[in-house]
Amino acid sequence: MANLERAPRKSFNDLIYDLIFKNYVWQSIFRTGYPNTPRNQMLAVATNVFLHLHPTRIHRTHVKITHTYCLGGLSFFMFLGLTVTGVLLMFYYVPSVERAYQDIQALEANVRFGQLLRNMHRWMAHAMIILVLLHMMRVFYTGAYKPPREFNWVVGVVLFILTLLLSFTGYLLPWDQLAFWAITVGTTMVGSAPVLGDESKFLLLGGFSVGSNALIRFYTLHVIGLPLVISIFLAVHFWRVRRDGGLARPL
């Protein structure tokens, strides 16, 4: 009885704090306490599956915005945003010559925030290409491709190609004049390749011209094939950034 009376009274803030961060459920999700001490801050990064892409500590020059301009991270962020908006778009879209265009019109006219959703997906795709290009320039001009990071630069070039292919395959899906003729022009360029040109074009289109086979091929590549491949290369890319010693630093 006497002991209880002498215990310091908790302030209201501390009560709320304990209620949120020290209850059984919270601590089952986040093993560490709130990251307000260096120890907890490091554990917060190390024990979280998403954050542990990062090391727990990082050289101070690397958190300067002007060193990376966050370009690689933002490219990945665009990929995530495109995945989310893309999955939502799949609810409203059927990849058939009869329905595709109609579905896009219906999405824009009848679906709440449908136009916004499509716009987001479109502009994010453009932004991703620009960001990937800028990221490549950043890595080049900071000499960050030099040993031991040679292979990760190659992975980066592959990711750039995959980004272009993802965007190109998505370009056909609205099935309007813009889409149809852009893909016709693009695949004609493929067809002009020496030796395997016509074969590659046929493989890509599932025929001699852009039609229903091309639409289903582009759709499948766009929503599952290429995203799977790019995810694998992204995983390798991020893993190698850590393995090769983080961001490049002067000797």
Partner 1 sequence: MVSRAAAAVRTRPRREREQEVLVWPDLVFIEFISALIFSIALMVLSAMVNAPLLNRADPDTTPNPSKAPWYFLNLQELLLHMEPAWAGVIVPTIALVLLAAIPYWDRDQEGQGVWFGTKFAGRLAIFGFTAATLITSLLIIWDGSLHVVWTENIIRGLGLNSDFSWPGGLDWFRNLRGFDTGIPWDSLGFTIGGFTMFADWRAIPLGIPGTTTDPWLLNLNFPSFLSQQIIPVATMVGLPVLFVLFCKALGWIHTRRDIALLIFSAFIGVYLTTTIVGTAFRGQGQDLKPPWDIVVLEE
Q: In terms of CB distance, is 13 or 177 closer to partner 1?
A: 177
Shortest separation between residue 189's beta carbon and partner 1, angstroms: 3
Which one of residues 30, 33, 81, 212 is an interface residue with partner 1 (CB under 8 A)? 81
Contacts of residue 185, Cβ cutoff 8 Å, sequence gap at least 6: none
* Binding positions for partner 1, 196-225, rule CB under 8 A: 197, 209-210
Sole window of 7-15, 88-96, 122-130, 233-241 interacting with partner 1 (rule: CB under 8 A): 122-130
Nearest to 249 by CA among 149, 160, 180, 102: 149
CA 231, distance to chain mean position in Å, is 8
What does the block give as tokens for 76? 């990945």
* Binding positions for partner 1, 133-152, rule CB under 8 A: 137, 140-150
DSSP letter for each residue of 201-223: HHHHHTSSSSSHHHHHHHHHIII
Contacts of residue 109, Cβ cutoff 8 Å, sequence gap at least 6: none
Q: Is 10 in the site for partner 1 (CB under 8 A)?
A: no
Question: Residue for token digits 């070039």?
Answer: 157
Euclidean distance between CA atoms 176 and 108, whole angstroms? 14
Which one of residues 60, 91, 110, 228 is an interface residue with partner 1 (CB under 8 A)? 60
Which one of residues 15, 19, 178, 232 is an interface residue with partner 1 (CB under 8 A)? 178
Q: In terms of CB distance, is 90 or 154 closer to partner 1?
A: 154
* Binding positions for partner 1, 19-58, rule CB under 8 A: 35, 38, 41-42, 44-45, 51, 54-58
